[in-house]
Amino acid sequence: MSANDPVLIYDGDCAFCTSCVRWAEKYLRQTLASGGWTAQPFQFTDLNEFGVTRERAEQEVLWVTPTGAVYGGAPAVARLLMRTGGVSAYLGGLLALGPVRPVAAAFYRLIAANRHRMPGGTPACALPPRQ
């Protein structure tokens, strides 16, 4: 990881989230076109350094750019895909389009709310209640 690489912050206690990140590390890095990225569980990350709260990190995956811009949920996934290049980058660009963004956000929220029911998910994956 270099200081010029974005960081993907995820819930390391969630088996589903961890499996998704491991899949991305394995398959999306193979088509890496525009530099690297790194993934860190929020439980082992100084969230203040990235300008995000624990509450936000518990609710959604976060993509933090080297300039400090933070994208959460579906926009974070879109940014990750765009960073990898190839076909994945086109899918990420599609998810970022204005007409598609609300659909992508709704789908992300549906998956996040049910991640404990997803393949590999466990009861520990359930989102904490919003305060």
- Residues with Cβ within 8 Å of residue 124, at least 6 apart in sequence: 13, 14, 15, 116
What is d(CA 43, CA 64) in angstroms, rounded to the nearest whole number?
A: 16
Q: State pLDDT tens for residues 32-89.
A: 456 689 999 999 999 999 999 999 999 999 999 999 999 999 999 999 999 987 888 8
pTM value is 0.90
Helix, strand, or coil (residue 72): strand
Task: Say which residue the tokens 């389009």 belong to.
Answer: 97
- Cα radius of gyration rounded to whole Å, the chain: 14
Amino acid at residue number 34:
S
